[in-house]
Structure 1
């Protein structure tokens, strides 16, 4: 816990966030770790099957206050199962988003971006040393939006949602901003930065429409899980270098969207 807290200090997290140790005994030996984006019943099954002693999750299990962890709720069942199995749970969320290297660095690396700098520089306790939310970088060579969209689909973990883009397919893209997770709150920041394209997750109809009408950069929308899954590889590599641990990265797709069916244009005028 000391090493994790030093790499992702809790003071870097947003005030509303809940990070750090969620459950577990401090003196419990740890030999095997499972890194996940979401602590959900499926990844708990995975942890117990692997015999993991610790789950490191990106998304908090208990983000909002609760008055009960009774086992007739799915979160209550998770807590009971983990305690009975002796599996600790640790969360690094917005403190890992703002870190350098952090969640968006791993996403930028998948696209081959270089010369990285924060999209929104950190303030307060996390300020300095290249920390901040999102990253801006340069492609090795300019690509059309259509080609960049396909590169994203090829470089990021597969999900049923896939990758969609908004803008002229032939637009030339050189500079790209990325943000792991939901990113429509940073649309104006991407516009001010003068990037050619901005990639994030969970984009919504009206913000995207208004952004494009206002002359903003092209947009790429990916599944939330897919945008944050690359960070797990970085965490795992660091843990293996620091400790004699067996570290497993979960490739279990926890994106809630599981079916995608494309329209046939000829039948939908």
Structure 2
């Protein structure tokens, strides 16, 4: 077997892609399971560390999983292997699989989740828009950009659906206004609806929109397209794998980076 890289080298590459300083205070990115000193021959990138992803990693011979969502958010007081998280951690340790996460730091980072989403749905002249932009030089959680040509909101909603890994999107239609300027925030970003409206966006793309948040959007005159949490974030897994390959290519050790292709949204329409 060829010489592997160290887990610490993978974490250093991840830091270059998505610096931890960009993470929100409540977040928990970084190395969550494993040792910086362990050898890594194969990495699996994914959105969530589910049982299916752990099984996929084990079957592929991966010794590290790099996820967007941290599998550990809060302190663990009991490690019960009869419960889902404990059982999952046990399987990972049995197979010697390290786990790391890049969450809100990857949302915010240039070329991260929000930039991937913006490009996927056809935006150009993409710029950051959310809170941190007002404070200084760091990137921000959300993005705002433009469609090449104005279009009806229904047509844009179909374009979003066709370019994301989803079976459907939910449309909050705020009148007959055409769409040209679009704001977005991947995952659960309804908190920025008012910000997007203030910045003059015709439409806002995010996930996990609640009823009263949709009402607020209509009152403000901004269309909303809810592409789901999974749909707006899963595309970054493949892009992250490619970025890692580039960052790790100059190292003396060899490491293979593969992407989860089995995960699906937990929601379905019946």
Taking structure 1 as the reference length, the TM-score comes to: 0.89
Equivalent position of 2:227 in the other structure: 222
Structure 1 unaligned segments of length 5 or more: list them: 262-269
Residue 19 of structure 2 is aligned to residue 13 of structure 1: no
Residue 14 of structure 2 is aligned to residue 4 of structure 1: yes
The 3-state SS of whatever aligns with 2:137 is coil
The 3-state SS of whatever aligns with 2:15 is helix
Give the alignment of 1:118-197 within 5 angstroms: 118-122=128-132, 127-128=136-137, 131-159=139-167, 162-167=168-173, 170-197=176-203
**Counterparts in 2 of 1:139 and 1:123: CA distance versus 1, 3 Å:** closer
Deviates more, 1:195-204 or 1:239-248: 239-248
Deviation of 1:245 after TM superposition, in Å, equals 2.9
- Segments of 4+ moved more than 4 angstroms: none
Deviation of 1:134 after TM superposition, in Å, equals 1.1
Q: Which has the higher contact order (CA 8 A, sep 6+)?
A: 2
Deviation of 1:254 after TM superposition, in Å, equals 4.2
**Counterparts in 2 of 1:5 and 1:242: CA distance versus 1, 3 Å:** closer
Q: How far apart, in 2, do the equivalents of 1:210 and 1:122 lie?
A: 23
Alignment equivalent of 1:242, drawn from 221, 238, 247: 247
8 Å Cα contact 1:115/1:138 also seen in 2: yes
8 Å Cα contact 1:144/1:169 also seen in 2: no
Taking structure 2 as the reference length, the TM-score comes to: 0.89
**Counterparts in 2 of 1:141 and 1:110: CA distance versus 1, 3 Å:** same
Deviation of 1:256 after TM superposition, in Å, equals 2.1
Give the alignment of 1:105-120 within 5 angstroms: 105-120=115-130
Q: How far apart, in 1, do the equivalents of 2:243 and 2:216 lie?
A: 41
The 3-state SS of whatever aligns with 2:214 is helix
8 Å Cα contact 1:116/1:135 also seen in 2: yes
**Counterparts in 2 of 1:121 and 1:245: CA distance versus 1, 3 Å:** farther
Deviation of 1:120 after TM superposition, in Å, equals 0.4
Give the alignment of 1:78-117 within 5 angstroms: 78-117=88-127
Q: How far apart, in 1, do the equivalents of 2:197 and 2:169 lie?
A: 21
Q: How far apart, in 2, do the equivalents of 1:230 and 1:57 lie?
A: 12
CA deviation string 1:132-158 (max 9, x = no partner): 011101111111111111111110013
Deviation of 1:189 after TM superposition, in Å, equals 0.6
8 Å Cα contact 2:46/2:259 also seen in 1: yes
Structure 2 unaligned segments of length 5 or more: list them: 1-10, 249-253
Q: How far apart, in 1, do the equivalents of 2:174 and 2:92 lie?
A: 48
8 Å Cα contact 1:121/1:127 also seen in 2: no
Deviates more, 1:51-60 or 1:10-19: 10-19
Residue 61 of structure 2 is aligned to residue 55 of structure 1: no
Deviation of 1:64 after TM superposition, in Å, equals 2.1
Query: How many pairs does the alignment contain?
Result: 255
The 3-state SS of whatever aligns with 1:194 is coil
